[in-house]
Structure 1
Amino acid sequence: MIEKQHIINRFVSYVTIDTESDPASDSTPSTKKQWDLANKLADELKEMGMSDVTIDENAYVMATLPSNVDHEVPAIGFVSHFDTSPDFTGANVKPQIIENYDGKDIVLNKAEDIILSPDYFDDLLQYKGQTLITTDGTTLLGADDKAGITEIMSAVEYLIQHPEIKHGPIKVGFTPDEEIGRGAHKFDVEKFGAEWAYTMDGSQIGELEYENFNAAGADVTVKGKIVHPGYAKGKMINSMYIAQDFINSLPRLETPEHTEGRQGFFHLTQISGKVEETNLHYIIRDHDKEHFEARKKVMLDLAAEINAQHEKEVILIEIKDQYFNMREKVEPVMHIVDIAENAMKAVDVEPIIKPIRGGTDGSQLSFMGLPCPNIFAGGHNFHGRYEYVPVESMIKATQVIVKIAELTAEKYKS
């Protein structure tokens, strides 16, 4: 039995450490404070009796739980990230424990009138009668992905304490900077030594994902010409107006707020400008590889069309691929998804198999030679003040990890 209070205490000890990552930094990890949790995790792994515990110069933490069976079993891994999103502050997190949730509004912060309401976040109603951990309304919580870390740590600890549960070699890995797209960049797949792995980085209970977006970033630079506005006729070129034409010429309904499921989008994430130069940053997303390439072409063709209208190069675009859909790497080894699905069913969790409208470390790791589906960690409303996680979901995720280890050993028993 996974002890509830132990899970709560472990989770709280992690989320109260500030590990916000910084996209403007070139270092790894991108913030020094991520070392605080990385070092804590390495120490805890050693204390619980894990083998080959390492923390490298970039704060990647790895460890091994040796096999306790006498037949060959592939090494499998479990991976989570310890940074939190820079979208909202992760400093001075003050978790609130809501016992036996009654299905009504939760006052996160009375002074600032911040309320977590099922009228807006109807997923809350799934968890009536359960124990929720919320924020105090002034920070994010950090369940993304410290819930995943809690579950992995608790699962390997449980396996150590219960040697009667038979398993092959289990690898664990904790990464920095996933929230800024760099979590897998310096992950040493060969050193990790797993044949396949699972990221514990999904949301609601039951999620099991092996498809994600193909992703690219596009930096658009619009060039203008500044002259005195009193004498500007026929001379001034206002880059902000050209930028506006570019923005409005992209498909208006193919944006995040108008799409769902496997539908892709163009997303303008940042804009800054003056008459002489305007800069736009877009992210481009699509599950389908052909549609993804077509989206990049749409942006390039639009720039070429506007440049032709002005008879000069007023728009420059640089597009960089970020990650790709892991489906093409996971489908050839679908037994790894089947094992996870069967593990969920074995612990009374109904699998929800769906595409990720985003990416995880697993998408990059899959293309680095480590097929890596994604499993629920249990949290909701990531990256903001309304984030929460049901404790019972973390317990179930821990049980799923244990069961995956057990089923993998059974599968390879001669």
Structure 2
Amino acid sequence: MINKQDIINRFISYVTIDTESDPESETTPSTEKQWDLAKKLADELLDMGMSDVSIDDNAYIMATLPSNVDHEVPTIGFISHFDTSPDFTGANVKPQIIENYDGKDIILNAEQNIILSPDYFEDLLQYEGQTLITTDGTTLLGADDKAGITEIMSAMKYLLEHPEIKHGTIKVGFTPDEEIGRGAHKFDVEKFGADWAYTMDGSQIGELEYENFNAAGAVITAKGKIVHPGYAKGKMVNSMYYASEFINTLPPLERPEHTEGYEGFFHLYDIDGSVEETTLKYIIRDHDADKFEAKKALMEKIVLDLNTKFEALIFDIDIKDQYFNMKEKVEPVMHIVDIAEDAMKALDIEPLIKPIRGGTDGSQLSYMGLPCPNIFAGGHNFHGRYEYVPVESMIKATEVICKIAELTAERYE
């Protein structure tokens, strides 16, 4: 049995270390404070008895649990990231433990009237009677992905202490800067040495994912001309008005707030405007490769059409691909998904196989030669003050890791 209090203690020890990443930084890791947790994890891996523990100059951590069987078994890996999102502060996290959750509102912060309510977050009702860890309403929690790290570390410790559970060689890896899209950029797949791996970076219990968005970023710049507004007739060109025309030309129902499942979107996430120049920053997402290409082409066509309409080079666009749907790389080796699904079923967990409406280190790693589906880590409402994680889900995820290791050894016996 996985010890519940050990899980709680380990998780809290990780989330109370600030590891927020910074998209404006050009270093790896993007923030110096990520080293605080990285070094702690490396030390803990050594202390528990893992082999080949390493931490490189970019804070990527790797370690090995040697095989304890005589027959040849593929080497598998488990990966999580230790940075937290810059979308909301991760400094001074003060976790709250809610024992035997009663299904009612949880007061995160009485002074600021911040309430985690099942009336708004219906998923809470799945966890009546369980132990929840929440924020105090002023920070994110960091279950994305310190829950995953907790589960991998706890599973390795459990397997080391229970040699009767037979398994092949297991690799673990922890990465910086996943939240800013760079988690796999400097991951040494050859050094890691696994045949396949799993990221422990999903949300609710049972999630098993091997499809994710194709992703691109677009920067649209609208150029204007500033003159004194009192003498502006026929001279001023206000770039903000032109930028709004670009915004309104995109399909309004293809925004995140109107989409779900396999539906893609255009997401305007930043505007910086003045009369002289306005910059729009978008992300473009779609699971379908053809629709993804069509979305990029549409944005380019709108820029061309608007420049033609206004008979001036007002707009410029720069689109860069970010990552691609890992389905293409995982489908040829679907047995790795089957093993994870069988592990969940063996533990009475209902597998929820669905597409990721986002990205994952596993996407980039799959294209780097390491097929890498994603498994639930248990958290909900990531990147904000309403984030929470059921302790029982973290225990189940830890058990899934152990069961995957066991089933892989059995299948290759």
TM > 0.5 fold call:
yes
Q: Deviations over 1:47-83 (max 9, x none)?
A: 0000000000000000000000011111000000000
Report the Cα distance in structure 1 between the residues aligned to 2:277 and 2:383, rounded to whole angstroms. Answer: 32
The structural deviation recorded for 1:236 is: 1.5
Counterpart for residue 30 of structure 2: 30
Match of 2:143 in 1: 143
Q: Which residue of 2 aligns with 1:377?
A: 377
2:3 aligns to what? 3
Distance in 1 (CA, whole Å) between partners of 2:64 and 2:213 is 31
Cα distance in 2 for residues equivalent to 1:169 and 1:294: 43
**Aligned residue type for 2:153:** M
Does 2:67 match 1:67?
yes
1:263 maps to amino acid: E
Residue type at the aligned position of 1:214:
N
Using the alignment, how far apart are the partners of 1:126 and 1:232 within structure 2?
61
> Could you tell me how far apart the structure 2 residues matched to 1:80 and 1:13 are?
16
SS of 1:221's partner is: strand
**Pairwise CA distance, 1:231:** 2.2
Q: Which amino acid aligns with 2:401?
A: I
Show the 5 A alignment for 1:254-273: 254-273=254-273
Matched position secondary structure for 2:63: strand
The 10-residue stretch of structure 1 (310-319 or 365-374) with the greater mean CA deviation from structure 2: 310-319
> Is it true that 1:88 corresponds to 2:54 in the alignment?
no
CA-to-partner distance for each residue in 1:10-54, whole Å, 9 max, x for gaps? 000000000000111100000000000000000000000000000
Q: For residues 131-177 of structure 1, give each alpha carbon's deviation from its aligned partner in whole angstroms, at most 9, with x where no partner exists.
A: 00011111110000000000000001100000010000000000000
Q: Distance in 2 between matches of 1:201 and 1:274?
A: 39
Aligned to 1:356: 356
Q: How many residues align?
A: 413
Matches within 5 A, 1:4-403: 4-403=4-403
CA distance in 2, matches of 1:229, 1:89: 40
| Corresponding letter in the other structure for 2:174 | F
Cα distance in 2 for partners of 1:291, 1:91 equals 39
Distance 2:142 2:212 in 1: 22
Distance 1:108 1:230 in 2: 52
> What is the root-mean-square deviation in Å for CA atoms of aligned residues?
0.6
Determine the C-alpha separation between the residues in 2 that align with 1:123 and 1:198. 25
Give the AA of the match of 1:300: E
SS in structure 2 of the partner of residue 254 of structure 1: coil
Determine the C-alpha separation between the residues in 2 that align with 1:339 and 1:252: 41
1:353-398 residue CA offsets vs partner (Å, 9 max, x unmatched): 0000000100110000000000000000000111000000000000
Letter of the 1:156 counterpart: M
Q: CA deviation at 1:225?
A: 1.2
Q: How far, CA to CA, are the matches of 1:96 and 1:238 in structure 2?
A: 49
Q: Percent identity?
A: 81
Could you tell me how far 1:127 is from its partner in structure 2?
Answer: 0.3
Deviation string 1:262-298 (CA, Å, 9 cap, x unpaired) is 0000000000111111000000000000000000000
Q: Deviations over 1:290-329 (max 9, x none)?
A: 0000000000000000111122211000000000000000
Q: Is the partner of 1:173 in helix, strand or coil?
A: strand
CA distance in 2, matches of 1:2, 1:316: 56
TM-score norm. by structure 2 comes to 0.99
Distance in 2 separating the partners of 1:9 and 1:231: 67
Per-residue CA deviations over 1:71-122 (Å, capped at 9, x if unaligned) read: 1111000000000001111111111111111101111111111111111111
Amino acid at match of 2:402: V
Gap runs ≥5 in structure 2: none
In the TM superposition, what is the alpha-carbon distance from 1:232 to its structure 2 partner? 1.9
Aligned partner of residue 244 in structure 1, secondary structure: helix
Looking at structure 1, the residues matched to 67 and 213 of structure 2 have their Cα atoms a distance apart, in angstroms, of 35
Q: For 2:47 and 2:382, locate their aligned partners in 1 and report how far apart those are by CA, in whole Å.
A: 31
Structure 1: distance between partners of 2:27 and 2:230? 47
